C-alpha cells in the first residue's frame, strides 16, 4: 500500500543514488517513486518546478523541500523517527535551511556522482 508519492529527478546522478537507497529501505513498498525527468504525466504541478525542488505527495498534500524528505522518511520504519522530528514546527526551519544549502551545493555534488 502506497502512503507517499515521491517525485524525483531521474536525470540527476545524486538523486538516482539517493532514491535507490530509499527503495532498498522501503521494504513495505509504502512509497511510489515517480521520475519526473522523463515527463511522467502523473506530475501534479509544472515539471520544471518539480525538478527545481524535491516534492512528495502525502495524504493528498503536496510537500516540497525538507517537508517532502520528512514525508518520505516517515514512510520508512527505520527513518520514521527522523521524519517525525524533521516535521515538528520547531525543527522545520532548521531542516529547510539545510535543504536550501544542499540546493546550492547540488550542482557540484552532481558532478562528483556523474
Helix (H, G, I), strand (E, B) or coil at 94: helix
pLDDT at 107: 74
Q: Strand 4-8 relative to strand 31-35: parallel, antiparallel, unpaired? A: parallel
Q: How many independent structural domains does the chain possess?
A: 1
Q: Give Cβ neighbours of residue 35 (< 8 Å, ≥ 6 apart).
A: 8, 9, 10
pTM tops 0.75: yes
Ordered DSSP codes for 24-57: HH-TT--EEEEEGGGT-TT-SS-HHHHHHS-EEE
pLDDT along the chain (114 residues), means of 10: 85 88 96 84 75 90 96 97 96 96 81 66
Q: Cα separation of 66 and 63, whole Å?
A: 8
Q: Cα separation of 64 and 95, whole Å?
A: 12
pLDDT at 47: 79
pLDDT at 89: 96
pLDDT at 19: 95
Q: Cα separation of 36 and 43, whole Å?
A: 7
pLDDT at 1: 55
Parent domain of 27:
4-113
Contact between 19 and 33 under an 8 Å Cβ cutoff? The reply is yes
Amino acid at each position: 500500500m502506497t502512503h507517499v508519492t515521491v517525485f524525483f529527478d531521474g536525470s540527476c546522478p545524486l538523486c538516482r543514488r539517493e532514491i535507490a537507497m530509499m527503495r532498498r529501505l522501503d521494504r513495505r513498498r509504502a512509497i511510489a517513486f515517480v521520475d519526473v525527468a522523463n515527463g511522467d504525466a502523473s506530475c501534479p504541478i509544472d515539471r520544471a518546478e518539480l525538478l527545481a525542488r524535491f516534492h512528495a505527495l502525502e495524504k493528498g498534500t503536496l510537500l516540497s523541500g525538507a517537508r517532502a524528505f520528512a514525508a518520505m522518511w516517515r514512510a520508512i520504519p527505520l527513518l520514521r523517527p527522523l521524519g517525525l522530528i524533521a516535521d515538528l514546527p520547531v525543527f522545520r526551519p532548521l531542516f529547510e535551511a539545510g535543504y536550501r544549502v544542499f540546493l546550492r551545493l547540488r550542482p557540484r555534488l552532481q558532478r562528483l556522482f556523474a
